[in-house]
Structures are given as C-alpha cells and as structure tokens.
Homo-oligomer: A and B are copies of this chain.
Amino acid sequence: MEILDIGDVAERTGVAVSTLRYYDEIGLIASVGRRGLRRQFGPEAVWQIALIALGKKAGFSLDEIAGMFRADGTVDLPRPVLHGRADEIDRQIRDLMVLRDALRHVAECPAPSHLECPRFRKLLRVAGRRGKA
C-alpha cells in the first residue's frame, strides 16, 4: 500500500477526484507519477490533504495554505513567517471565542433585548475592535 491511485486518495480523504486533479493543477499537491494516464500519489498525500482541509475549514484560501505547506510536504519558510501565521490563527481563535460567547449568551440571557444586557454589550465592543483592526 505504498502508492495510491487518485481514486484511492479520494476515497481515503473524502475529497472528490476532480478536486484532487484541481489541487494538482495549481500545485497544491504533487503526484509521484502516472500509471498509464492515471495520477499516482504517495501515502503522505493523505495527510497533506487533511491539512489542506483543516486550513480551508479555518477560512484560509488555497493560496494562503500553499504559503504554509508546500506540495511535497516540506516547509522551507523562515521561522518568523511561520510564527506569524500561527499568531494570525491565534487571533482568529480569539475571534471565534467572541462569536461563540455571543451565541451562547444570546441563547441564555433573559434580558428583554440583548442590546440592554451589559455582558452582550461588552462582547459587541470586542467584536467592534476586531472588526476595525
């Protein structure tokens, strides 16, 4: 089970064959060769694609993801850049926590209007700050 047909990769990752072809085209992943016309991938393709899915779900564009991990799975970016990306993600995590708290608050707060609740107003101030920045 060293080398995988594109269809095997699709099955293991849950990503459509056409999508894998697209990722290959744009250089986001790299096939290790062909069997006839058929693209073949190494087993590392499976986790590469898992990382891509993770990044996508996090709201990063394919370009941004390509800027984090290269097609062959190696990374040659300077450390400060990588840490900068990580910091960005940390900011996003904090944003998500604000959103989650806003949602949970709305679900539970008994105030007649959320605008009148001091806790909600505080959440909104945070949202405002993040929006502007």
Contact B103 A89 (CB under 8 A): yes
A47 on the interface (CB 8 Å rule)?
yes
- Give the contacting residue for A51; candidates B51, B100, B127; CB below 8 A: B127
Question: Given B86, B99, B128, which contacts A46 in the complex, CB threshold below 8 Å?
Answer: B128
Main SS at interface, chain A: helix
The residue that A114 contacts in the complex, of B54, B68, B75, B96, with Cβ under 8 A, is B75
User: CB distance B58 to A131 under 8 Å?
Assistant: no
Q: Chain B residues with Cβ under 8 A from A53's Cβ?
A: 127, 130-131
Distance of A90 Cα from B107 Cα, bound (Å):
15
Give the shortest distance, in Å, between A39 (CB) and chain B (any CB): 20
